[in-house]
Amino acid sequence: MPEIAGTYKAAPADGETKACDLSVQIRKLNGAYAYTFHMNSKVYKGKVKLEKGDNKGEVYVTFMGIELAEYEGDEDEEKRPVKKPVGISGLWSDNQITIQNTGNSMNYYVQIAGCDQKYISLVKTEVNKR
């Protein structure tokens, strides 16, 4: 697995001049990864789950313990109260984490409230020494 530890900050989406108010610090502690996520004036801390991606150099990253902002479930599921998933997910590649923030009409969700970008790019700005 590539070294993902570092500090990441949201970059403006294509054609935009302002980025969402997001940053995350990922640290490696005793062989495991932990995060501190700054989002909309709130701070979340927890473990990072990593899974090998489909392509070389890609890693699926999940910030465990953060509940999705909105979730209506898959269109094929029965119409009953749906529990919100926990864990914000993205794909790490080339020192950047890309989060698909919103789903579509068949699988509607919003991972991070207060950021109206469909895709959020968190770009590594600093490498952690540990």
**Per-residue pLDDT tens digits for 51-107:** 998 888 899 999 999 988 988 876 655 666 677 888 999 999 999 999 999 988 788
- CA angle 60–46–63, rounded 5-degree value: 25
Burial label for 8, CB within 10 Å (0-12, 13-18, 19+), is buried
In whole angstroms, give the CA distance from residue 44 to residue 104: 26
Q: What is the pLDDT of residue 128?
A: 64
CB 4 within 8 A of CB 101: no
The residues that bridge with 51 in the sheet, in sequence order, are 60
AA identity, residue 85 = P
